[in-house]
Structure formats: structure tokens, C-alpha cells
Amino acid sequence: TTPIEIRSDGEGQSEYVEGYALKFEKWSERLGWFKEIISRNALESTDLSNVIALFNHREDFPLARNTVSGESGRFELVIAAIGFKLCFFNYET
């Protein structure tokens, strides 16, 4: 399992979660009976225009979306040298 941290830039600032959804050229942890490695060009043709962050892959539990404007529910995505980095801000319900 991967540890998850909720962070804040300071008192009165929005809480956010950031990390890597995947890392390039690095073996994954064992996923049942297999492991995987993801190529650096794996996301080249991927449509990232409407991405939703879900809790535990549950469609009934959205956390953020990259089409949301404003602070609450905003989802930032970056394809970095290490991998696919994400940052989303506390979704107020």
C-alpha cells in the first residue's frame, strides 16, 4: 500500500493531496499474481481532458475533477520525468 498524506500550505490554507498515480520505468508492487513496469511514453496518446479522481476506484465517490474551476475539487495533472503527478484540493461537500 502507498501512504497518503493530506497537506496544507499553512493555517487557513486549503488542504490538498499530491503524489504520483504512476511512475515510469519502475517495477510496481506485486498486483496479485503479477507486477508491471510503465514506459515513459505510455501516456503520449492519452486524453487527459476530463479526468476524475475517485476514492478506491468508486465512481460513486468522486474526490476531484480536472475540469473544475476554483479551489474546491480542483485537480491538477502533470506528466513529469518521474511519472504522472497529481494534486487535488479538498473537495468540500
What's the pTM? 0.72
Q: Look over the chain and give the mean of its residue pLDDT values, rounded to a whole number.
A: 83
Closest-CA residue to 53 (of 19, 2, 79, 23): 19
pLDDT at 84: 94
Longest dimension (CA), the chain: 45
Residue with the three cell numbers 498524506: 5
Cell of 19: 503524489
pLDDT at 93: 46
67 vs 79, more confident: 79
Q: How far apart are CA 62 and CA 37, in angstroms?
A: 27
Overall average pLDDT of the 35-43 stretch: 95
